[in-house]
Chain A
Amino acid sequence: MQFGIFSVGDVTPDPTTGRTPTEAERITAMMRIAEKAEEVGLDVFATGEHHNPPFVPSSPTTMLGYLAGRTERLVLSTATTLITTNDPVKIAEDFAMLQHLAGGRADLMLGRGNTGPVYPWFGQDIRQGIPLAVENYALLHRLWREDVVDWQGRFRTPLQGFTATPRPLDGVPPFVWHGSIRSPEIAEQAAYYGDGFFANNIFWPKEHFQRLIDLYRRRYEHYGHGRADQAIVGLGGQVFMRRNSQDAVREFRPYFDNAPVYGGGPTLEEFSRETPLTVGSPEQVIERTLEFREHFGDYQRQLFLIDHAGLPLKTVLEQLDLLGEEVVPVLRREFAARRPAGVPDGPPDHEERKRALAQEKDGRQETAEEAK
């Protein structure tokens, strides 16, 4: 099972000091956080994509390309790449390039984006969100699999004899997750292609995500990619830890109370009860994360949000130490002990997908020879 972190890339004032980091400081901090994730033994770093303040990551593959050169093992991913407002041709090129630079350590999570004004900045319309996600991905899927593409659709100019370059590393398209917080259509899309499904469960109660993940699993089996319990599921979660849980609550409360995503609503305690937010000791985070398995079944990727709400870099790096030293080693062991045989222990990596592709090609050759 893969464990990692995902960042929204928000520039939020630290409520305890009143100081807002500069964009330069935040970008540097994100890169430091990603490198630290590898140092402490985590598997994945994923960045969001935003095109409006107070967020900095407008150009994810630039960030991930930098990290590709600075890391050895870390899988570089996104949360999410906007499949609605980005040109699928550019996504195909950017992520194939990243894949080459990272030696196959790249995947991506597609999402629609829910900020209405962003769409027209890129010539699109939020009311077409689902049709855009469907059409753009259908094209992206072909651009990575077919060397020469003739294509015509509703949302971009037609392509004739087009070849996206570079071709995916070893001919293996990057693994794709489809992220959603509410759309059954996106769960259906992930199931249809046999791709991964990431339920960003961090701000809503679990009952909703149980329905969404159950739908994805059922339809994954329906489309013949494997059994429902073999479908590739990813989950989020946001944590703040100190060895002593009361210290964690005391330190995190001003960040919770003032954060744009939390403030003015339910209390820290209520929000912790209803959503995956866990503020406490490493043991509490372990216990809570293992509960996800009870609610959603065995899953393949867990991403924690740890650098939000204006937390200073030093604190975030301490969180990574706790994750790497005390939380993730236990979670790896406990999840592995509970996972039944035949259920994948992670999304397929580049080597695995390369082998699968080779087998598929052999199979096709044999069939062709038999036909002769």
Chain B
Amino acid sequence: MSEQRIVAVTAGLSTPSSSRLLSDRLAGAAEEALRKAGGTPAVETVELRDHARGIGEAMAAGFPTGDLKRAVDAVAGADGLIAVTPVFNASYSGLFKSFFDLVAADDLEGVPVLAGATGGSPRHSLVLEHAVRPMFAYLRAVVAPTAVYAASEDWGAGAADGGRAHAALADRIARAGGEFAALVSGGPRRRRPDPYEDPVPFERLLRGE
């Protein structure tokens, strides 16, 4: 089986960020499940903070360049995408959205997505369902049923809860990783014909097709 290219995009801003931490855990779970299924995953992580200036400039100029262009191309060419955002003002961060605004509408069609979000409070966990999932639905990507939200308390609430929150997060990560791996293993992406390579013949355009 050929290599499965997994790209993990994380929009965390601090170093280390909990979004990066969650992204790495999700990538680990996905890799493990893909290997078990006989696959050979290769994960590349894109930290959006590294592209913060480029994303702003690409918005004004209309096109991404340099390392940012390579990151956008990697996402467009991925066999599976892991996407993790911190929750800002009750939604995904602006940087996260702006990056995906640079991805062409067709480029993620049919691509399996494992979505994650982090926040200080568990009260925003539905961000994954009311913001992140609809955005990928618009892009016609296939989001794994389990999306993983990690609040501060999930990273380990100390001895107080006997490690239950931490274990529950680990379970969610493993389940999400497994679902994502099943989608990625479901076969190679069907890609649309490249209109620059295979244009619609003009006779068909003339007939209004």
Number of interface residues of A (CB under 8 A): 31
Contact of B65 among A135, A185, A266 (CB under 8 A): A266
Chain B residues whose C-beta falls within 8 Å of the C-beta of A265 in the assembled complex: 56-61
CB pair A134–B206 under 8 Å, yes or no, is yes
Min CB–CB distance B134 → chain A (angstroms): 22
Interface residues of A in 197-215 (CB under 8 A from B): 203-205, 208, 211-212, 214-215
CB pair B62–A204 under 8 Å, yes or no, is yes
A335 at the interface (CB under 8 A from B): no
A292 at the interface (CB under 8 A from B): no
User: Do A203 and B62 form a contact, CB below 8 Å, given A184-B195, A184-B196?
Assistant: yes
A264 at the interface (CB under 8 A from B): yes
Binding-face segment, A85-93, A168-176, A187-195: A187-195
A116 at the interface (CB under 8 A from B): no
CB pair B57–A215 under 8 Å, yes or no, is no
State in angstroms the CA–CA spacing of A274 and B64 once bound together: 10
A286 at the interface (CB under 8 A from B): no
Chain B residues whose C-beta falls within 8 Å of the C-beta of A203 in the assembled complex: 61-62
A130 at the interface (CB under 8 A from B): yes
User: Do A189 and B57 form a contact, CB below 8 Å, given A184-B195, A212-B196?
Assistant: no
State in angstroms the CA–CA spacing of A274 and B60 once bound together: 14
User: Do A192 and B202 form a contact, CB below 8 Å, given A215-B196, A266-B57, A270-B57?
Assistant: yes
CB-based A-B contact count at 8 angstroms: 61
B137 at the interface (CB under 8 A from A): no
A112 at the interface (CB under 8 A from B): no
Interface string of B39-56 (1 = CB under 8 A from A): 000000000000000001
Chain A residues whose C-beta falls within 8 Å of the C-beta of B202 in the assembled complex: 188-189, 191-192, 223
Chain A residues whose C-beta falls within 8 Å of the C-beta of B56 in the assembled complex: 265
Contact of A274 among B65, B200, B201, B205 (CB under 8 A): B65
State in angstroms the CA–CA spacing of A273 and B63 once bound together: 13
Interface residues of B in 125-161 (CB under 8 A from A): none
B38 at the interface (CB under 8 A from A): no
Q: Residue of B at shortest CB range from A215?
A: B196
The 7 closest A-B pairs by CB, nearest first: A265-B60, A192-B202, A265-B61, A184-B195, A211-B196, A266-B57, A188-B199
10 A–B contact pairs at CB < 8 A?
A: A138-B206, A184-B195, A185-B205, A188-B202, A188-B205, A204-B62, A263-B60, A264-B60, A265-B56, A266-B57
20 more A-B contacts (CB under 8 A) besides A184-B199, A188-B205, A273-B65? A131-B205, A131-B208, A135-B208, A138-B206, A184-B196, A187-B199, A188-B199, A189-B202, A191-B202, A203-B62, A211-B196, A212-B196, A215-B196, A223-B202, A265-B58, A265-B61, A266-B60, A266-B61, A270-B57, A270-B65
